[in-house]
Amino acid sequence: MSRLRAIAAAAVLVLAALPAALSDFWIFIAIEVIAFALYAVSFNVLLGYGGMLSFGHAAFFGVGAYAGALVVKKAGLAPEAAFALVPLAAMAAAAGVAAVVGFFSVRRSGIYFGMLTFAFQMLLYTIALKATGLTGGDDGITGLKPPGALARPAVYYFFAITMVAPALYVLYRLVNSPFGITLRALKANPRRVQYVGVDVRSHQLATFVISGAFAGLAGAVFALSSGNVFPAWLNWTASATPIVMAVLGGVSTFLGPALGAAVYVVLEVVISGRTEYWPLVMGTIILALVLLMPAGLTGLWRRKGTS
Amino acid sequence: MSDAAAPILSVRALSRRFGGLQALGGVDLEVARGEFRAIIGPNGAGKSTFFNTITGLIRPDGGRVAFAGRDVTCMAPDDLVRAGMGRTFQITSVFADLSALENVQVALLAQARQSWRIWPRAGAMNAERAAELLALVGLAGSAARHAGTLAHGDQKRLELAIALAGEPTLLLLDEPTAGMAAQERIESISLVHRVALQLGVSCVFTEHDMAVVFAVATRITVLHQGLVLAEGTPAEVRANPQVQQVYLGESVIAEGVGT
Ligand SMILES: Nc1ncnc2c1ncn2[C@@H]1O[C@H](COP(=O)(O)OP(=O)(O)OP(=O)(O)O)[C@@H](O)[C@H]1O
Ligand SMILES: [Mg+2]
């Protein structure tokens, strides 16, 4: 336990000192890591804990991003007020959309569940692309800027942490709660869990909505850092990202997907800066990972720790 | 609603067809409170289908099911369980990835309507009661083991503990001793019997081993090709020529006499 505390304390120190040590470019990357860590962990609550493989999770990340962008650009509020509303608006919008998508999707399981989430995502992608008046269509929404000092990456970095850390804590409590243990039981054996008196669909739907809401928050945190939102964020290829991050880090640990997000984002920056064959490299890494260590990076660590 | 005088289970004309196969052809069955009822019959007789239609896993084509005087035909499984009907499956069904203790905790949390709480840590919740239930079925030493790693017989016992955690008034056990060695079977069913008596739970179970059936059943129903062929006390059923005919190995029935 005290070792865990020491690690946590060290992590806090490193996170606090990081902006001082990094260039603006790398701070920007660090913010991306923070946002995608939440995205991957929220996705993995669905996959790793609930056994539901969504092929459309980018929809919620994207809806959150657009909701945040629209509040900043079109709500007609003072910049500070609009900015304060962003997290709430992003989560509410993503949760609302997730409630509709989830309502239909949890009626099926396995690949059919995945296909339903996939189909809904294509609908939402089309809306983002075609509802030009609202979303800017193909051009997306650009020129987003947090107010005042928050526009500086080194400051926004801390804002991102104050958004993401409590969100991760809530999800952590969730997976260890009665709700969470019931979710794991549901994943292990949906029929049996129904026969202990659990309403399986409601439980799955609630998980879906919570997961979607936090993916939406991640989307908004990232959008305001990058300064823009594009329809491609909702495209189906974007939904592979949280899957890869979760598998890379390990779906059977809570923070594994966060580690996966960090590795993925940094690798992408480093490799795509050097070669145009980034997808080739990523493909090779995923192959090696799934074949050699299916439990992901954290699985490797845990195996070392126990042996 | 629930009626203390009504039989715990009353089934009328229950039928179910699978394609061209009439798995249940209109089954009537009444179980009094406190009974320990065995349902026997050859493979494919419709025993599991009978359980599955009663417990909402599959829809009956026709017929009614009353549980403690209340019509529960086609009720959703989770509602039935919360109303007090517990069951186990012919193919053992536990939460393989969870520890034995967690398996029972999940059921206790559902029973206490706490499955939706998202903040407290589940670890210690109901852990004492869960440990008691594990001890009751003889799994005290295996609480921390992953359910999937338990021996087959222990998984069956764990599933019993899970079912008991729901505080059922009626327990439906589909082949509670399947896959066990002969001696283990008698021990297991005696355990179920003891626990059911202790907790005042009525019980209906299916079973192929006649020694097991005659060891504990208060009444026996014989299913054959989706119909009730005979019903009565163990002595009556044993003496029934039709039953002896269905069970070509009559000696199987006769063997049970001694135990
Ligand atoms: N879901 C299903 N779809 C199609 N046929 C089914 C289904 N379930 C059961 N059957 C058929 O219905 C008949 C009754 O099966 P059931 O499982 O109820 O028998 P049983 O008495 O439990 O047999 P056993 O002793 O082997 O467990 C069998 O012929 C079986 O093949
Ligand atoms: Mg059967």
Task: Please determine, for residue B100, whether its predicted confidence score (pLDDT) is greater than 70.
Answer: yes
Annotated domain spans of chain A: 24-235
Question: For residue B82, what is the DSSP state?
Answer: H
pLDDT at A177: 95
A196/B81 CB distance under 8 A: yes
CB atoms within 10 A of CB A23: 10
- Give me the pLDDT at residue B259, please: 39
pLDDT digits (tens, 9 = 90+) for A47-88: 999 999 999 999 999 999 999 999 988 877 888 888 889 999
CATH 3.40.50.300 in chain B, residue ranges = 1-84+170-259
- Cβ pair A182:B109 closer than 8 A: yes
User: So what's the pLDDT on residue A303?
Assistant: 56
Chains A and B form CB pairs within 8 A to the count of: 102
Which amino acid is it at A49?
Y
Q: What is the pLDDT of residue A141?
A: 86
Q: What is the CATH number of domain B1-84+170-259?
A: 3.40.50.300
pLDDT at B4: 67
Q: How far is the CA of B48 from the centre of ligand 1 (A)?
A: 6
Contacts of B101 (CB under 8 A, 6+ apart): B127, B130, B131, B134, B143, B144
- The per-residue pLDDT for range A109-163, each reduced to its tens digit, is 888 999 999 999 999 999 988 888 788 887 888 888 888 888 888 899 999 999 9
Pick A191 or A137 by higher pLDDT: A191
Q: Partners of B40 in the beta sheet?
A: B222
Q: Could you give the CA distance from residue B94 to residue B107 in angstroms, rounded to a whole number?
A: 11
Alpha-carbon gap, residue A275 to B16, rounded angstroms: 64
User: Which ligand is closest in space to the CA of residue B222?
Assistant: 1
| ipTM given for this complex | 0.90
Nearest Cα residue to atom 7 of ligand 1: B18
Q: Do A187 and B55 touch (CB under 8 A)?
A: no
How far is it between the farthest Cα atoms of chain B?
62
Q: Residue B183's pLDDT is what?
A: 86
- Alpha-carbon distance of A219 to B205, in angstroms, equals 54
Number of H helices, E strands in chain B: 10, 10
User: What is the pTM assigned to this prediction?
Assistant: 0.90
Nearest CB neighbour to B106, from listed A181, A191, A200: A181
Contact A191 B166 (CB under 8 A): no
Nearest ligand, CA of residue B40?
Answer: 1
Share of chain B above pLDDT 90, in %: 64
CA distance A53 to A42: 12
Residues with CB under 6 A from ligand 1: B 18, 21, 23, 41, 43-49, 90
Select from A189, A194, A206 the Cβ nearest to the Cβ of B94.
A189
What is the CB neighbour count within 10 angstroms for residue B178? 17
CB-based contact, A173 to chain B, within 8 Å: yes
Structure token digits, residue A5: 């505390």
